[in-house]
Amino acid sequence: MSQSKQEKMQALLEIMQPYAQDPSALANLKEETQFIRDLKINSANLVDIILDIEDKFDIEIDNDSMDKMMNVGSALEVIEAKLAAK
Amino acid sequence: MTKRVVITGMGVVAPNAVGLQAFEHALKMGHSGIEYYPELAELGFSCCIGGIPKLSDEFIRNYLSELQLRNFNSSGILYGCIAGMDAWKDAGLELQETADFDSGTIFGAGTSGVDKFREAIYLLDEKKVRRLGSTVVAQTMASGVSAYLGGILGLGNQVTSNSSACTTGTESILLGYDRIVSGRAQRMLVGSTSDHGAYVWGGFDAMRVLTYKHNASPEKASRPMSATASGFVPGSGAGALLLESLESAQKRGARIYAEVLGGEVNSGGQKGEGSMTAPNSLAVQRCIRSTIENAGIEAGEIDLINGHLTATSKDSTEIRNWSEALGRKGTDFPLINSLKSMVGHCLSAAGSIESVASVLQIKSGFVFPNLNCEDLHSEITELISPDCIPQKYISREVKIVAKASFGFGDVNACVVFKKFEE
């Protein structure tokens, strides 16, 4: 099943929803949106978000990839790469 | 002059009622919260009954956010947060945006997040450590409940959890009292909590200290002071009291439920008749006598004792210890009751839930009935008059209550609550 970038953005938005402390930043989610600075996500919750992404896309995200996932765009890139490698 | 400490708020999550008003009603009516749990039978427990507070998902969402409830599996932290937040609001205090350096918490627990820990262990053994996520540590650390409460309420003074088995709740009151008396805090939220369920109760079932005779009659099972007491019924929940310096309470114009006169904690050193699981009576009596002295009252002034009284063979030993320590017997003995006849033994939460019950009796002027002791143990009636052990609700003024708790490790705690007078 191949999803468009738009669909992946939507899936990410749903995953972020319970963690994001800034609802307006979430409503205007862009590729540049940063998880901690913009969405005000507690840094401890980043590992939970990674697990939710793994479950949603049925992929495994290694530590190095996880370190790159600072904003929506980089998260999408990691997801694309992991899906392509499946 | 030493600082006076008063109680200005309370909260309770008990097997027979949740919330102060419902709890007071349940006390007066003698409602049992003990039920049969088929999952315990499926696991092969001898005792398949227990006391678990009833909370709907909708109710829980009034206390914890969607994010806090994500991957949340710690009943003890949940109970403690509800009781603690209720006590805070009941005292007329607000949830603040900045840290309140004059307010802290000593909120005890026996274990934390046992069900959450079980989940984690299964994942670890499957070599899936990274699948634990961020939620295991906060929910399973011993201080989990105080850490949650500290964040929710914005507490900036001491935030910690004490642990002393079944004396935990009563001990927390005395620890918070000391902190206010010494002038190092204005307000201390004190209390304790206990997880529920098979993974907490199993060890007690294995020790054969739980009753296995009442699986078909749960409400009759918890029988403190009865000749047919056959072991305790495990319970769970949380109780919370907001302790405050009289100065601070009066400045805020807060309602005062009662005054804490102080008390004592000690241990029998597991010497003499004391052991890991049995009390050294010498220490129990010493604890009660020191409590009377520290509280600055006479033994004869005590109207009501809220005992530890778990419904084991140790109940008569406890009565003898009270009688000898106070020098009161027969009809001269104070009234005495045990909440455990209604809610079972709530373990680390027992002392605080029972203290809330003690203070409610002072506040509203009543003595709640002891259930299931129509056949009082003869070793007890040899010491004190049956009239001292009410089996029906009594409406009367209660000025001074002595509350004690005893726990594994041969540890004791006793506290005195008094009707507030200027």
Confidence of residue B96 (pLDDT cuts 50, 70, 90): confident
What is the complex's ipTM, to 2 decimals?
0.86
Q: What would the mean pLDDT of B38-51 be, rounded to a whole number?
A: 98
Spatial distance between the Cα atoms of B326 and B346, rounded to a whole number of angstroms:
27
Give the 3-state secondary structure of residue B407: strand
Helix (H/G/I), strand (E/B), else coil: B252: helix
* Tokens encoding A18: 């319970």
Would you say residue B128 has pLDDT above 80?
A: yes
B14 compared with B422, residue with greater pLDDT: B14
Q: What residues of chain A lie within 8 A of the CB of B70, using their CB?
A: 18, 48
φ, ψ (nearest 5 deg) of residue B7: -100, 120
Q: What are phi and psi of B391, to 5 degrees?
A: -110, 0
pLDDT score, position B195: 97
For chain B, list the domains and their CATH numbers. 5-258 (3.40.47.10), 263-418 (3.40.47.10)
What lies within 8 Å, CB to CB, of B383 at 6+ separation is B316, B319, B320, B323, B329, B330, B333
Q: What is the pLDDT of residues B362-379, one digit of tens each?
A: 999 999 999 999 999 999
Mean pLDDT for the stretch of residues B180-204: 98
Looking at the partner chain, which of B67, B130, B131 has a beta carbon nearest the beta carbon of A19? B67
- pLDDT given at position B159: 98
Interface contact flag, B134 A44, Cβ < 8 Å: yes
- Output the domain CATH number for residue A47: 1.10.1200.10
Does B127 contact chain A (CB < 8 Å)? no
- Structural domain count of chain A: 1
Q: For B328-336, what is the mean pLDDT?
A: 98
Q: pTM value? A: 0.96
Say if residue B121's pLDDT is above 80. yes
Burial of A34 (0-12, 13-18, 19+ CB in 10 A): middle
- Vertex B87, ends B243 and B68: CA angle to 5°? 125
Q: What is the pLDDT of residue A2?
A: 61
Q: At B98, give phi and psi (nearest 5°).
A: -120, 160
B128 touches chain A (CB under 8 A): no
Q: Which residue of B67, B70, B133 is in closest CB contact with A47?
A: B133
Q: How far is B127 from chain A (nearest CA, A)?
A: 14
Q: Contacts of residue B66 in chain A, CB cutoff 8 Å?
A: 18
- Domain, as residue range, for A64: 5-84
Region B221-243 average pLDDT:
98
Among B373, B418, B170, which residue's Cα sits nearest to residue B284? B170
> Between A18, A44, A46, which is nearest B70 by CB?
A18
From the CB of residue B381, how many other CB atoms can be counted at a distance below 10 Å?
Answer: 17
Q: Tell me the pLDDT tens digit for each residue of A30-56.
A: 999 999 999 999 999 999 999 999 999
**Least confident residue range of A2-11, B48-57, B121-130, B286-295:** A2-11
Predicted confidence at residue B229, as pLDDT, reads 97
Output DSSP code: residue B257.
Answer: -
CB-based contact A51 B66, cutoff 8 Å: no
Whether the pLDDT of residue A20 is over 50: the answer is: yes
Take residue B131 and report the two structure tokens written for it: 């699948």
The predicted structure's pLDDT at residue B180: 98
Question: In the predicted model, what is the mean pLDDT of chain B?
Answer: 97
Q: Is B134's CB within 8 Å of A19's CB?
A: no
Q: Which residue of B has its CA nearest to A47?
A: B133
pLDDT at residue A1, as a whole number: 47
Instruction: Show residues of chain A in contact with B130, CB under 8 Å.
Output: 47, 51
Contact between A18 and B130 using a beta-carbon 8 Å cutoff: no
The token duo for B190 is: 């004190």
How sure is the predictor about B1, in pLDDT bands with cuts at 50, 70 and 90?
Answer: low
Could you tell me what percent of chain B has a pLDDT over 70?
100
* Parallel, antiparallel or unpaired: strands B17-18 and B5-14: antiparallel
Q: Please state whether beta strands B366-367 and B394-395 pair in parallel, antiparallel, or not at all (unpaired).
A: antiparallel
Q: pLDDT category, B25, cuts 50, 70, 90?
A: very high
B266: pLDDT strictly greater than 60: yes
